[in-house]
Amino acid sequence: DTGVSQDPRHKITKRGQNVTFRCDPISEHNRLYWYRQTLGQGPEFLTYFQNEAQLEKSRLLSDRFSAERPKGSFSTLEIQRTEQGDSAMYLCASSFRADTEAFFGQGTRLTVV
Amino acid sequence: GNSVTQMEGPVTLSEEAFLTINCTYTATGYPSLFWYVQYPGEGLQLLLKATKADDKGSNKGFEATYRKETTSFHLEKGSVQVSDSAVYFCALTYGGGSYIPTFGRGTSLIVHP
């Protein structure tokens, strides 16, 4: 297993466009998390899945954000009508259980111009 | 809710100096505690962990002890190297009901030759 992978690594988009990011977790991990990280801050929780069920969403996650994890495998995070404030690193992580460590991908850096 | 507080950075040290990065937490129940490291341009990597009170996690010369009485998990290293320059994040998970890994804002470490 090569760990958690995210695609793309970098995305530059114009304000108002939609973007979609993909995350492939470690194969035996049931839990998948999305975080957002801005400069000088720690990862901020956005949402998480237990298998294919989306169990919790942060209040940070506006209606323009949606995430899916069909069949409990890979996940996608879509941002509609992007705004400059959406510019950040979007991190995906997975873990085997609630009390075990999360393994992170290298992130997708989004720049909205 | 759960939260993690880390000391402000940057921490600037000379090579071979002793390192301490303070971390305290607030959580219900009995969380697992973690230190992650983020090298420039890379994703977060698990550095060490401890899952119950008085456990000591260690890796690559770094150590941290789970202190339930002071709700702390301070990171220490006896002799830092230039290659340890990175951002260090304290985190917790589980916490008696909240299953979401929660991170501090990170502490930047700069080690000079």
pLDDT for the residue B99: 77
Q: What is the 3-state secondary structure (H, E, C) of chain A?
A: CCCCEEECCEEEECCCCCEEEEEECCCCCCEEEEEEECCCCCCEEEEEEECCEEEEECCCCCCCEEEECHHHCCEEEEECCCCHHHCEEEEEEEECCCCCCCEECCCEEEEEC
pLDDT for the residue B100: 87
Confidence grade of residue B95 (pLDDT, cut at 50, 70, 90): low
Average pLDDT estimate for B66-78: 96
Which one of A45, A56, A101 has the shortest CB-CB distance to B34? A101
Per residue in A1-34, pLDDT (tens digit) is 579 999 999 999 999 999 999 999 999 899 999 9
Average pLDDT estimate for B29-42: 90
Average pLDDT estimate for A102-110: 96
- B51 contacts on A by Cβ (under 8 Å): 99
pLDDT for the residue B112: 96
Confidence grade of residue B98 (pLDDT, cut at 50, 70, 90): low
Is B13 near chain A, with CB under 8 Å? no
Average pLDDT estimate for A42-52: 94
Is B29 near chain A, with CB under 8 Å? no
Is B2:B31 a contact under the CB 8 Å cutoff?
A: yes
**Cβ pair B43:A45 closer than 8 A:** no
pLDDT for the residue A59: 86
**Cβ pair A104:B42 closer than 8 A:** no
Is B105:B24 a contact under the CB 8 Å cutoff?
A: no
Confidence grade of residue B97 (pLDDT, cut at 50, 70, 90): low
Confidence grade of residue B43 (pLDDT, cut at 50, 70, 90): confident
